[in-house]
Amino acid sequence: MGLFGRKTSSTASTATLDPAAPAPVAVDPALAALSGTYTIDPAHSSIGFTVRHAMVTNVRGSFAEHEGTLTLDGADPAASSASIDVKIASVDTGIADRDAHLRSADFFDAEQFPLMTFRSTGARALGGDTYRITGDLTIKGVTRPLSIDLEFNGTATDPYGNQRVGFEGGAEILRSEWGLTWNAALETGGVMVSDKVKLTFDISAIKSA
């Protein structure tokens, strides 16, 4: 059963006289206990991206510095929310010159727009342990809607007594829709950097309230 799963009560209420009325539901106590506010642990989480380079290979990168909170409601997934702030200057593709280019005005313009942010506006269960979080992604001063599909990886208490939850998933965007339009034509046809970017999220969060 998923994080936000529900199960139908095995006994009907004697107060229900209308046979067309929905059957009462009971929330699994184990799942309800996960409800609360969680702080994303950046040391055990990653926010990354993959983009096609020169039409023939992929370049992968990540953002080393980010912070955020998750508010989970085990009884009502629509009441759950997420908020994430990513420091653009922390972009890391393993090549210093490329990272500097990404931070420049050609791409993210990190000096003028230091943060990439996501603020959720809705959540719903897709079945099993998969959920869809919808919200607003802001990059370089442009805010557009984004849906992220996440799989719930479970919960655990770590050696320090922290209750943790884990999620992983991703989304695809067209970077041009957020004003990231720099490119270069190839002699053989095509362009240096694809418009499509795959975003990946691997999140560990600690219950704080």
What are 6-31's pLDDT values in tens digits?
333 333 333 334 445 444 444 556 66
What are 25-77's pLDDT values in tens digits?
445 566 677 899 999 999 999 999 999 999 999 999 999 999 999 999 988 88
CA 71, CA 161: separation in Å to the nearest integer?
20
| Mean pLDDT for the stretch of residues 125-141 | 94
Beta strand segments in 128-192, E: 130-139, 142-157, 163-174
Contact 36, 5 (CB under 8 A): no
Query: Phi and psi of 57, rounded to 5°?
Result: -150, 170
What are the tokens at 150?
Answer: 């996440």
What are 99-129's pLDDT values in tens digits?
999 999 999 999 999 999 999 999 998 988 8
| Mean pLDDT for the stretch of residues 155-184 | 96
CA 110, CA 144: separation in Å to the nearest integer?
19
